[in-house]
A and B are shown apart, each in its own frame.
Chain A
């Protein structure tokens, strides 16, 4: 099964480990992520002001390109997923904006593409039971904090991937991989997002709250689905360790990297060298590798 795939700018560069580990894991469970022949940045933020139609033209172009390659488009980055899915809804439901956008990008796109997250492909098209069957290195005894962040879940009526207050899709996946998911209070809270550009104190505090909250509930590892969450958490790690007694840091990895481990993929192909904390001592301690 081939599914058209939109990597987005960050996965093509800084977060190459997210992209590569996802492609390898996809193949291990029986689908291929077919990168769109032509794509551009999605804009990295869905305009919250509805009069800003210009902000929808870039994601509309991506969606229009995707419609020429199939009826489904999958993506990994939470922000790309959020922007593409919400833009698609506007194009589908709002005729006036649809005509305006199509006129500008010189396309005739009607919003018919189904935007799905990689997690949804695993849950709804492959099935977590099939993922479980493909596990070669069960993540037995590994306590994993499931960090959803904001953009994967909100706004709930547009995203609909899971319950927006008490999501379980990550937990269900991790159970299939043999790990012990750790539920923690800050799993759907913000990491500080774009405040990384000029207000590091906010990022340190918010990301710190996420990490200490997860570790406080017993997490030995945190998984993310967004390169900005990954960056903010990793960047705040040492400062939080200095400020918080009893907190020594926790490895942060993309959820696809840990899937790759569980599915028995080559550990050198999963891009762990790009992560700030080394996850290998933990995996060795647990007898997973």
Chain B
């Protein structure tokens, strides 16, 4: 895969915003891949956690925003637990989700949630799910 790097993308205000929202320093990551190895859902991600970090280090926010990775993250913090540099990819992905949700764009429509699930699911699943997927 060929990608074109641009200084203005790497140092863009959007990258700074992701760092500010997530509280993480993207440059800390040195690409060991422990996060992708430990992540229980990296198999389902279009871009696995360590590559999310690399794309963002290179200023490629758009690629990460288009991928399903941030919506698939279960927030289990295994990435953070295994990171030798103390980076929480889960926080970075939450920051990416917030970029969308704070614009008022939902990832899931409440009316699409199956009724049997609403009836039987523990409340915590709904409260947590709404916070992760709904603006």
Q: A196 to B128, alpha carbons, bound, how many Å?
A: 10
Bound together, the chains give a CA A10 to CA B81 distance in angstroms of 27
Residue A4 is within 8 A (CB to CB) of chain B in the complex: no
Contact with B127, one of A45, A199, A202 (Cβ below 8 angstroms)? A45
**Known interface pairs A44-B128, A77-B124, A154-B81; 20 further A-B residue pairs with C-beta atoms within 8 A, sorted by A's residue number:** A10-B122, A43-B127, A44-B123, A44-B131, A48-B95, A49-B23, A51-B23, A79-B128, A150-B76, A190-B41, A190-B74, A190-B76, A194-B128, A197-B108, A197-B113, A198-B112, A202-B72, A206-B41, A206-B74, A231-B122
Closest 3 CB pairs of A and B: A197-B129, A190-B76, A44-B127
B84 to chain A, nearest CB (A): 14
CB-based contact A48/B88 at 8 Å: yes
Interface size class of chain A, counting residues whose CB lies under 8 Å from the partner chain: 35 or more
In angstroms, Cα B82 to Cα A156, docked, is 11
Complex: A39 Cα to B112 Cα, angstroms: 31
Contacts of A155 in B (CB 8 A): 77, 80-81, 88
A52 neighbours in B (Cβ, 8 Å): 98
Q: Does A260 contact B (CB under 8 A)?
A: no
A91 within 8 A of B: no
* Main SS class of interface, A: loop
**Contact A150 to B77, CB < 8 A, known contacts A44-B128, A45-B127:** yes
Chain B interface secondary structure, helix, strand, loop or mixed? helix
Residues of A within 8 A of B126 (CB): 197
B115 interface residue (CB < 8 Å to A): no
Quick check: B117 and A196 within 8 Å, CB to CB? yes
Does B58 reach chain A (CB closer than 8 Å)? no
Residues of chain B within 8 A of A190, CB atoms compared: 40-41, 74, 76, 78
Tally B residues with Cβ within 8 Å of A. 38
Kindly list chain B residues whose C-beta atoms are within 8 Å of the C-beta of A43. Answer: 127, 131
B132 sits at the interface (CB 8 A): yes
| Contact, CB under 8 Å: B91 / A49 | yes
Question: Which chain B residues (80-103) contact chain A, with CB distance < 8 Å?
Answer: 80-81, 88, 90-91, 94-95, 98
Q: B74 near A192 (CB under 8 angstroms)?
A: yes
**Taking the complex as formed, is A121 at the interface, i.e. its CB lies under 8 A from any CB of chain B?**
no
Query: How far is it, in angstroms, between the C-alpha of A19 and the C-alpha of B4 when the chains are bound?
Result: 56
Residues of B within 8 A of A193 (CB): 74-76, 125, 128
Contact A79 B124, beta carbon cutoff 8 Å = yes
Which residues of B sit under 8 angstroms from A44, Cβ to Cβ?
A: 123-125, 127-128, 131
B40 lies within 8 A of A194 (CB): no
Report which of B80, B91, B123 forms a contact with A10, defined as CB distance below 8 A.
B123
Interface presence of A55 (CB below 8 A) = yes
Using a CB-CB cutoff of 8 Å, which residues 188-215 of chain A contact chain B?
189-190, 192-199, 201-202, 206, 209
Q: Which of A48, A51, A192, A209 is in CB contact (< 8 Å) with B90?
A: A48
Minimum CB–CB distance from B76 to chain A (whole Å) comes to 4
A9 to B124, CA, bound (A): 7
Contacts of B125 in A (CB 8 A): 44, 193-194, 196-197, 228, 231
Is A41 an interface residue when CB atoms closer than 8 A count as contact?
yes
Per-position contact with A for B55-72: 1 when CB-CB < 8 Å, else 0?
Answer: 000000000000000001
